[in-house]
Amino acid sequence: MLLAIDAGNTNVVFALLDGREIKTRWRIATDPRRTADEYAVWLNQLLMLEGYAMADVDAVIVATVVPRALHNLQVLADKYFKTTALVAGQSPVDWGIELDVAEPASVGADRVVNAIAAHHLYAGDLIVIDFGTATTFDVVDYRGAYKGGIIAPGINLSLDALVAAAAKLPRIAIAPPENRSVIGRTTADAMLIGVFWGYVAMMEGLVARMRAEIGRPTKVISTGGLAVLFNDNSDIFDAIAPDLTIQGLALLYERSLQTE
């Protein structure tokens, strides 16, 4: 079985796959100091709870936007799964798609993996929105080439910055306002409206501008933890793909086998 690891700025997601089928997944807070031994103790217990063993894993693939986290994940694969971790974007796991941007080496691995999976799953021109620490908007053309995109502060990052910079503002949870009014009658309501509906307006405005620039019919695919929340309050999404990054890693693993 394949252990696919998506190491982001906030969380590391581990998914166990049989072929392309995701059998189970777990997440842990990203900490570059976390050792391979700590990962192994945690994973061993979770695997057993799901009826699996560490010996069931015979391949590991990693995509990371946190360079300092990579070494310990590679040690985890070597020491506990007896295999060399494949790293997305590094031989033999080359991207296999055109990165049609000014600085291809600077594109985050998660964004490229999402582009690969989205093009495999959906036809035509695409905008992929990924809700993470940052919210990314990425354009994939009908040929599967990655064309670039937008990086915006994630909604939780925006809220944290607001609360940190304003001494009297309370910490609130991200949720849809109870009604669709955009005039808050309490401080908490005013904050929630500003953060939530402000974010919806930003997404809708950016997608409209991107579609106009692309100039062809374009589907919008969303992924990440807040995709469902925003889908209930906006009509810009054509599909939600919660496991897009993991699906992209599975595809990259399959392609690496074909090149051996």
- Provide the annotated active-site residues: 110
Per the listing, tokens 């090149």 go with 259
Phi, psi of 206 (to 5 degrees): -65, -40
Cβ atoms within 10 A of the Cβ of 245, count?
27
Taking alpha carbons only, the member of 16, 3, 28 closest to residue 81 is 3
The per-residue DSSP string of 114-171 comes to HHHHHHHHS-SEEEEEEESSEEEEEEE-TTS-EEEEEEEE-HHHHHHHHHHH-TTPPP
Gap between the terminal Cα atoms of the chain = 18
Report residue 140 CA to chain centroid gap. 16
Residue 127's Cβ-side half-sphere holds a number of Cα atoms within 13 Å equal to: 28
Query: In Å, how far from its chain's centre is CA 180?
Result: 29
Of residues 103, 79, 87, the one with CA closest to residue 6: 87
Q: DSSP secondary-structure letter at 176?
A: -
- Using DSSP, state whether 231 is helix, strand or coil: helix
